[in-house]
Structure 1
Amino acid sequence: MKNLYRISAALLAATVAFSLVGCGDETGGADVTAAPEVTDIAETTAEPETTAMTEPELPPADFEGYEFRFVLQNDGYGEWKGRELGEGEQTGDTLNDALYERDLKVSELYSVSLKPLFTGDLVRLLKNTVTAGDNACDALFIQAPQLTAPAMNGLLFDIKQLPGLDLENPWWDAYAAKTLSIGGRLFFTYGDMNICDKDLTWLVMFNKKIAESYGVGNLYAEVADGKWTFDLFRGKCAGVYNDLNGDGVVNDDDLFGLVTPYDRTMLAFLYSCGVETIKKDESDLPVYAMDSPKLEEVFSRVLSLYFDGGCALDVMRVSGNWRRTETMFSSNQILFYVECMQNVERMRAMQDDFGILPVPKYDEAQGEYINMVCDFATATCVPASAPDPARTGAVLEAMNAYSKMLVMPAYYEVSLKTKYARDNDSAEMIDLIFGRRYFDLAYIYQWGGSIGAVMKLAGKGDENVVSKLESLREKTEAAIQKTVEAYAAG
Structure 2
Amino acid sequence: MYKNLLSIMLALLIIVSAFVSCGGEKGDQAPEITTTIETSPAETEDPEPDNLPEKDFGGYEFKLYCRSCCTSHKDGLWQAESTGDVVNDSVFDRNKKVEERFNCIIAEPLLSDGEDTSVITAALLAGDCMADVIIPHFRFLGDMVLKQLMYDLAKVDYLDFSRPWWNTMLIENYSIFGRSFVAYGTIDVDNITEAGCILFNKKLNTSYLPEENFYKSVKDGAWTIDKMNSVVHSFGADLDGDGNVTGDKDLFGLTGNSGYMFMYQVAMDQPTTRPNDDGEPELVINTPKMATIAEKMYDMAVAYEYSKVDNDTDSAIFIDSRSLFMTTKLSACINKSMRSMEDDYGILPLPKYDEAQTSYFSHGSAHSNMLGIAAIQPDIERTGIILEALTAEGYKMIKPAVYDVALKQKGARDDDSAEMIDIICATRTGDFADLYDEWGLVYTLDHMNRAKIDTFASFYAKNEKASIKRLSKAIDLFREMP
For this structure pair, what is the TM-score category when the shorter chain's length is used for normalisation? 0.7 to 0.9
Q: Please list the CA deviations of residues 78-122 of structure 1 after superposition, one character each: whole Å capped at 9, or x if unmatched.
A: 344422323232111111211122112211222211112332246
Normalised TM-score (structure 1): 0.83
Amino acid at match of 2:186: D
User: The residue matched to 2:382 in structure 1 has which SS?
Assistant: helix
Whole-angstrom CA distance in 1 between matches of 2:75 and 2:448 = 34
Q: Using the TM superposition, name which of 213-222 and 136-145 deviates more.
A: 213-222
CA shift in 2, pair 1:337/1:188, >3 Å: same
Are 1:341 and 2:337 matched, yes or no? no
Whole-angstrom CA distance in 1 between matches of 2:443 and 2:169 = 23
Q: Which residue of the other structure, out of 57, 60, 64, is the alignment partner of 1:63? A: 57
User: The residue matched to 1:379 in structure 2 has which SS?
Assistant: coil
Are 1:241 and 2:236 matched, yes or no? yes
Q: Using the TM superposition, name which of 133-142 and 410-419 deviates more.
A: 133-142
Largest Rg, 1 or 2 = 2
CA shift in 2, pair 1:133/1:187, >3 Å: same
Amino acid at match of 1:167: F
Whole-angstrom CA distance in 1 between matches of 2:330 and 2:404 = 14
Unaligned runs of 5+ in 2: 1-45
Q: Is the Cα–Cα contact under 8 Å of residues 78 and 109 in structure 2 kept in the other structure?
A: no
CA shift in 2, pair 1:119/1:301, >3 Å: same
Whole-angstrom CA distance in 1 between matches of 2:197 and 2:445 = 20
Q: Which residue of the other structure, out of 89, 103, 107, is the alignment partner of 2:99? A: 107
User: The residue matched to 2:63 in structure 1 has which SS?
Assistant: strand
Q: Is the Cα–Cα contact under 8 Å of residues 59 and 103 in structure 2 kept in the other structure?
A: yes
Q: Is the Cα–Cα contact under 8 Å of residues 68 and 112 in structure 1 kept in the other structure?
A: yes
User: The residue matched to 1:260 in structure 2 has which SS?
Assistant: strand
Q: How far did residue 431 of structure 1 move?
A: 1.1
Amino acid at match of 1:405: K
Q: How far did residue 479 of structure 1 move?
A: 1.4
Q: Which has the higher contact order (CA 8 A, sep 6+)?
A: 1
Q: Is the Cα–Cα contact under 8 Å of residues 201 and 372 in structure 1 kept in the other structure?
A: yes
User: The residue matched to 2:259 in structure 1 has which SS?
Assistant: helix
Q: In the alignment, what sits opposite 2:318? A: 329
CA shift in 2, pair 1:396/1:407, >3 Å: same
CA shift in 2, pair 1:276/1:431, >3 Å: same
Whole-angstrom CA distance in 1 between matches of 2:231 and 2:372 = 42
CA shift in 2, pair 1:309/1:327, >3 Å: closer
Q: In the alignment, what sits opposite 1:353? A: 344
| 1:342-381 matched pairs, under 5 angstroms | 342-346=331-335, 347-373=338-364, 375-381=366-372
Q: How far did residue 315 of structure 1 move?
A: 5.3
Whole-angstrom CA distance in 1 between matches of 2:148 and 2:260 = 33
| 1:254-293 matched pairs, under 5 angstroms | 254-261=250-257, 263-293=258-288
| 1:20-419 matched pairs, under 5 angstroms | 54-74=48-68, 77-121=69-113, 123-214=117-208, 215-252=210-247, 253-261=249-257, 263-314=258-309, 316=311, 321-323=312-314, 326-346=315-335, 347-373=338-364, 375-419=366-410
CA shift in 2, pair 1:479/1:56, >3 Å: closer
Q: In the alignment, what sits opposite 2:9? A: none
Amino acid at match of 2:156: L
User: The residue matched to 2:65 in structure 1 has which SS?
Assistant: strand
Whole-angstrom CA distance in 1 between matches of 2:260 and 2:105 = 41
Q: In the alignment, what sits opposite 2:430? A: 439
Amino acid at match of 1:196: D
Q: How far did residue 156 of structure 1 move?
A: 0.6
User: The residue matched to 1:459 in structure 2 has which SS?
Assistant: helix
User: The residue matched to 1:335 in structure 2 has which SS?
Assistant: strand
CA shift in 2, pair 1:79/1:249, >3 Å: farther
Seq. identity, %:
29
Q: Is the Cα–Cα contact under 8 Å of residues 216 and 236 in structure 1 kept in the other structure?
A: no
Amino acid at match of 1:155: L
Whole-angstrom CA distance in 2 between matches of 1:383 and 1:281 = 29
Whole-angstrom CA distance in 1 between matches of 2:439 and 2:447 = 14
Whole-angstrom CA distance in 2 between matches of 1:428 and 1:460 = 36
Q: How far did residue 132 of structure 1 move?
A: 3.6
How many residue pairs are counted as aligned between the two chains? 430
CA shift in 2, pair 1:392/1:116, >3 Å: same
Whole-angstrom CA distance in 1 between matches of 2:339 and 2:117 = 34
Q: Is the Cα–Cα contact under 8 Å of residues 62 and 106 in structure 2 kept in the other structure?
A: yes
Q: Is the Cα–Cα contact under 8 Å of residues 447 and 480 in structure 1 kept in the other structure?
A: no
Q: Using the TM superposition, name which of 134-143 and 295-304 deviates more.
A: 134-143
Q: In the alignment, what sits opposite 1:472? A: 463
User: The residue matched to 1:483 in structure 2 has which SS?
Assistant: helix
Q: Is the Cα–Cα contact under 8 Å of residues 448 and 477 in structure 1 kept in the other structure?
A: no
Q: How far did residue 307 of structure 1 move?
A: 4.0
Q: In the alignment, what sits opposite 2:14? A: none
Q: How far did residue 129 of structure 1 move?
A: 4.1
Unaligned runs of 5+ in 1: 1-51
CA shift in 2, pair 1:412/1:448, >3 Å: closer
CA shift in 2, pair 1:307/1:65, >3 Å: closer
Amino acid at match of 1:136: M
